[in-house]
Homo-oligomer: A and B are copies of this chain.
């Protein structure tokens, strides 16, 4: 099938993504390219990592996920190819591939950097060729040496407090202005954000227009939303804001 997904912060208008696509098709004409996004905020490694969490295991076994959000391109950071849970990923060693790296069954190689590779565009000269080869059936080991140096892994986990609450943070704000937290949601309870206590409801559409509610998002994480509005705008909250999950009192 040869599925290769692409996630970058390149935008598309400059033609860099087109260049990478050309390289892949030239090496592997049977490739089936799937755009995930190219409008990741420039150099937003954390945002890209959270997006990958959502999609990487939804794709069929054998899919190659190519990720180029790479502020350190041209420095000594390693370029990785990863096999995890039956999928492949290629991208820089800056934490962006963490969702796949945090599994136990992961294999990692460091891609060789060709002498003629541009120091500013490993997406074209390192990652695209590696993705094309993996999609074409090359084994991971053919792409580079096993990488056993420390790998950058990031995971934003909520912490349990002594009173049974969970302390977390807003990990991203989506296009609708919903505040996605790292709180794994129970049924019931409430979320504290600043001096506001937000009830947990079943869907965005519950409550009246303008109400601030918390819902269990599609990844199982609690999100704070405003009915018919934007929680980002209404609450003036950005990524990193602390939140606390209070469990529901025992039912009477």
Contacts and interface: CB of A to CB of B under 8 A. Distances in A.
A218 B15 contact: no
B119 A58 contact: no
Contact of A120 (B37, B51, B203): B203
B18 A37 contact: yes
Copies of this protein in the complex: 3
**In this complex, which of A15, A43, A175, A216 has the most chain B Cβ atoms within 10 angstroms of its Cβ?**
A15
The interface residues of chain A, by DSSP majority, are classed as loop
Interface string A48-75: 0011111111111001000000011111
Contacts of A120: 203-204, 215-218, 223
B7 A51 contact: no
Contact of A59 (B13, B26, B37, B124): B26
A15 B51 contact: yes
Interface string A143-158: 0000000000000000
Contacts of A174: 11, 14, 16
A202 interface: yes
Contact of A25 (B14, B25, B60): B60
Contacts of A217: 118, 120-121
